[in-house]
Amino acid sequence: MWQAQVWVKWNDKAPAKGDWSWLKEWSEVHTAWSIMGDWDMLLTINAKSPADVENFIWNKLRKKDWVANTHTSWANQVWSNPNWSWQKSG
């Protein structure tokens, strides 16, 4: 299973912050993060291949009029520590 991290920069047409229910329309999105810095949001996307990720980005995400820019990296998980949880860290 491939996972992509997609950083999203919004423009002035961005959805209202605080109401994230619109993310439910995208079954590909595994998690969504509000972030600080050069980007406004980070999405993690589950996909069978990098082509599936590109399809999501160009045929769904980039079609939104509030998306100014995106940056993507791909990862294919090869191992996971069964005792680790981000909810238990820090």
- Return the pLDDT at 66: 93
Cα gap 3→30, rounded to integer Å: 9
- Return the pLDDT at 1: 67
- Return the pLDDT at 67: 95
Cα gap 56→5, rounded to integer Å: 12
Kindly list the averaged pLDDT for each block of 10 residues, start to end, along the chain of length 90.
88 83 90 91 88 92 95 84 74
- Return the pLDDT at 90: 58
- Return the pLDDT at 48: 82
Domains (range + CATH), the chain: 2-73 (3.30.70.920)
- Return the pLDDT at 75: 80
- Return the pLDDT at 89: 63
- Return the pLDDT at 82: 86
> pTM score > 0.85 for this model?
no
Asked if 85 contacts 36 with a C-beta cutoff of 8 angstroms, the reply is no
